[in-house]
């Protein structure tokens, strides 16, 4: 029997699972790693669910737990190596993500983002997701001014990389 809490959670998760995929998209480079991180984020979301009080939107809360897992909590497991993946859930990642895009310039930009450090990737991710500086600063735990400064530096970093 699944509890009501579990049912509620899975319903919400199914509705917003794209957020988890997108976090994986920024932090992983192949479909196995994507699946592994996807699994860890869903586990962490479920574990943290009792602490979700509903004073923020479920999706907002998901961004936070998702990034926390990708940047801080996640450790590449031995699952992939030990081929225990059989017990895991298989899903197809048949989109163009992993051979990326045909557009040469976009490919270069994705490549440059990939080279950023974990924190900067998180900022770029939130930026891509249309989050404002207030939300970015709250998610990271830094001041809004610092978030802006950081964003400007990332832009410069990307430009330098792309022009070199």
Partner 1 sequence: MDELELLKKHWNKSSTNYPSLNKADLYKLINMRSSSIVKWIFIISLLEFLGWSLISFLFDGTESLEKMNNYNVEHIFYPLTIFGYLVLFVFFFLFYKNYKSISATDNIKTLMQQILKTRKTVKQYVIFNLGFMCVSIVIGVYIELTNNPEVQTMLTRIESEGANNIYIFYLIVVALSLLAMAVITVILLGFYYLIYGLLLKRLKSNYKDLKTLETD
Under the binding rule (CB under 8 A), the answer on residue 22 touching partner 1 is yes
Q: Is the dihedral of CA 83, 88, 91, 96 positive or negative?
A: negative
Under the binding rule (CB under 8 A), the answer on residue 33 touching partner 1 is no
Residue 18: CB minimum distance to partner 1, A = 5
Identified binder of partner 1 from the candidate list 17, 33, 98, 144, rule CB under 8 A: 17
Alpha-carbon span 80 to 75, nearest angstrom: 12
Query: By CB under 8 A, what part of segment 104-123 binds partner 1?
Result: 105-106, 109-110, 112-113, 117-119, 122
Query: By CB under 8 A, what part of segment 62-81 binds partner 1?
Result: 64-65, 67-69, 71-75, 77-79
Whether the CB-CB separation of 49 and 9 falls below 8 Å is answered with yes
Alpha-carbon span 73 to 68, nearest angstrom: 6
Residue 16: CB minimum distance to partner 1, A = 11
Alpha-carbon span 62 to 41, nearest angstrom: 9
Under the binding rule (CB under 8 A), the answer on residue 37 touching partner 1 is no
Alpha-carbon span 113 to 124, nearest angstrom: 8
Identified binder of partner 1 from the candidate list 82, 86, 89, 104, rule CB under 8 A: 89
Nearer to partner 1, 32 or 118 (CB): 118
Which residue has 């962490």 as its token pair?
Answer: 44
């Amino acid at each position: 029997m699944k509890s009501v809490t579990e049912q509620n959670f899975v319903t919400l998760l199914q509705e917003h699972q794209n957020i988890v995929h997108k976090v994986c998209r920024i932090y992983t480079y192949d479909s196995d790693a994507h699946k592994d991180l996807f699994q860890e984020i869903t586990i962490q979301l479920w574990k943290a669910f009792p602490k979700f009080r509903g004073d923020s939107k479920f999706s907002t809360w998901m961004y936070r737990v998702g990034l926390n897992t990708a940047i801080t909590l996640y450790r590449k497991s031995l699952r992939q190596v030990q081929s225990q993946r059989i017990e895991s859930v298989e899903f197809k990642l048949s989109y163009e993500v992993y051979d990326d895009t045909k557009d040469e310039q976009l490919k270069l930009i994705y490549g440059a983002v990939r080279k950023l450090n974990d924190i900067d990737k998180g900022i770029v991710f939130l930026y891509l997701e249309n989050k404002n500086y207030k939300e970015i600063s709250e998610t990271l735990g830094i001041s809004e001014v610092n978030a802006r400064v950081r964003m400007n530096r990332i832009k410069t970093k990307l430009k330098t990389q792309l022009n070199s």
